Structure 1
Amino acid sequence: MERAIRFKSTADYATSEIQRMILAGELAAGERLDQVRLAEQLDVSRHPIRQAIERLAERGFVLLSPHRSAVVSAHSIADLVELYSLRESLEDMALRASWPSLMAGGRDHVTAIYKRLTAQDPQADLERYMHENRAFHLAFYRDCGNRHLLRTTTTLFDLSERYQRTALTSAHRQNQSSDEHAGMMDALHAGDLERLSERLKAHNRGTLEQVRTLLSASEAATGKA
């Protein structure tokens, strides 16, 4: 019953759950997706699993081979840089389009989410923190008035969540991120669009550089092994 209330279809449910498992690392980068096992795990038939995998392939979470086998897409520095470069451009566009709405009362909505976010401890409950962090960021863009821009921005943000989780393994980055969020809110409440734009870009670049460092170290260690 809960599933029926939350999702319009079984395929929607399967898509949401498989994406969640990928983001949480329950399905690792490079892992082959076993449709039979996933169907049993989610208590659904294989048809919605196939639909979910096709959707996730379109979003970039899954890679499909010519024979239709599917694996979770891998992390890479090249993917990281491409993803964050796109996010920087499109999120700035969406922020500027949403600015009149933010100034007309949308700040209260963002502030309410920010208060929920600051109450979370990523070390104690990472899933809850990531949920509120996503809501916080997307609140800056939700009134951009362009459904294609909003959909693309949301997809790119979701694709970057695995990298965000990697960055948050560092307590130092957790503290930096918290300070950067506070700086974004200061700019929002001051009504300073340009300052908010720059602080958002700096926030995303901070995550990019942290993850680039971690991935570089991992690749170097793998090369020596």
Structure 2
Amino acid sequence: MARTVRFKSTADYATSEIQRMILAGELPAGERLDQVRLSEQLDVSRHPVRQAIERLAERGFVLLSPHRSAVVTGHSVSDLVELYSLRESLEEMALRASWPRLSTEGIEELEAIHQRLVAQDSETDIEGYMQENRAFHLAFYRDCGNQHLLRTITTLFDLSERYQRTALNSARRQTRSRDEHGAMMDALRAGDLELLSQRLKAHNRGTQEQVCAMLTSPETADAEA
């Protein structure tokens, strides 16, 4: 079930909705963003839409030309590799900083999030699945004690969501992803930081390898990652 979100401003609402449309593929890679059409669709004025587009450009979801036209950022293997390489380094740092609390108070919360994630079906409710998947992953880093690190990880994770959705087009990857989430929880319950770190990295690399195969050779979309 989707949670009700309250926004501080109309620009926050527009930013959230346009980002959601990009991630859901309603605004596909390479599409030009029409401020008039978006303002009508969201039932807001053009000013918050313009603010939203500028924010999304700063986050990497949108490309702005010198003449201020905006298009949705495209997919590419090079972007995927750069994104996941940076995520791996920063998430490792945040995981180790979060571990003292994660291995005590954090377990119960992660158990609850994991149960909600397991109950989601990515085929019938991709939005609900991605929402719980995001909550699950970011919960490992939330107590790192560095707001700038956490903010950067959150932005990178959100940028990688389109690639995560692409990977989930593979039935094999869906099954593996669920198994890997369970393996992460087993490591957490065992209090084994090194094993948890290894399993988190393997999970993200599995997604990366699957999407690389799908982007470079569509006929291998369901090949083993």
Provide the rounded CA distance (Å) in 1 between the counterparts of 2:111 and 2:149: 23
Q: CA RMSD in A?
A: 1.4
> What is the TM-score with the length of structure 1 in the denominator?
0.94
- Paired AA for residue 78 in structure 1: S
* Equivalent-residue separation in structure 2 for 1:26 and 1:120 (angstroms): 22
Aligned to 1:14: 14
Cα distance in 2 for residues equivalent to 1:5 and 1:26:
20
Deviations 1:124-161 (A, max 9, x none): 10110000000000000111100000000000000000
**Match of 2:198?**
198
Are residues 1:169 and 2:154 paired?
no
Q: Partners in 1 of 2:20 and 2:170 — Cα distance?
A: 22
Structure 1 residue 106 and structure 2 residue 144: aligned? no
1:216 counterpart residue number: 216
3-state SS of 2:71 partner? strand
Alignment correspondent of 2:223: none
CA–CA separation in structure 1 for the residues paired with 2:34 and 2:67: 14
Where structure 2 has 5 or more consecutive residues not aligned to the other structure, the ranges are 221-225
1:69 aligns with 2:65: no
Q: Which amino acid aligns with 1:143?
A: D
Distance 1:68 1:218 in 2: 34
Q: Which runs of 4+ in 1 moved over 6 A?
A: none
Between 53-62 and 5-14, the greater mean CA deviation after superposition: 5-14
C-alpha spacing 1:5/1:219, structure 2 compared with 1 (3 Å)? closer
Letter in structure 2 aligned against 1:87: R
SS in 2 for 1:31: coil
Is 1:186 aligned with 2:147?
Answer: no
C-alpha spacing 1:155/1:111, structure 2 compared with 1 (3 Å)? same
Instruction: State the 1:219 CA deviation.
Output: 11
Shift of 1:114: 0.2
Match of 1:58 in 2: 58
Letter in 1 for 2:127: E
Which structure 1 residue ranges, 5 or more long, are not aligned? 221-225
Aligned to 1:39: 39
Deviation at 1:214, TM superposition (A): 0.2
Shift of 1:5: 6.8
Aligned partners of 1:13 and 1:38: how far apart in 2? 12
Q: Give the distance between the partners of 2:168 and 2:103, measured in 1 at CA.
A: 31
Between the aligned partners of 1:5 and 1:170, the Cα distance in structure 2 is 31
How far apart are the structure 2 equivalents of 1:119 and 1:144?
Answer: 28
Task: Read off the aligned partner of 1:188 and give its amino acid letter.
Answer: L
Amino acid in the other structure paired with 1:113: I
Determine what percentage of the aligned residue pairs are the same residue: 78
SS at match of 1:104: coil
Matched with 2:147 is 147
Shift of 1:104: 2.5
* 1:162 partner SS: helix
Counterparts of 1:20 and 1:151, CA distance in 2: 18
> How far, CA to CA, are the matches of 1:114 and 1:219 in structure 2?
32
Equivalent residue, structure 2, for 1:223:
none
Q: By how many angstroms is 1:92 displaced?
A: 0.7
How many residues are aligned here?
217
- SS for the counterpart of 1:178 is helix
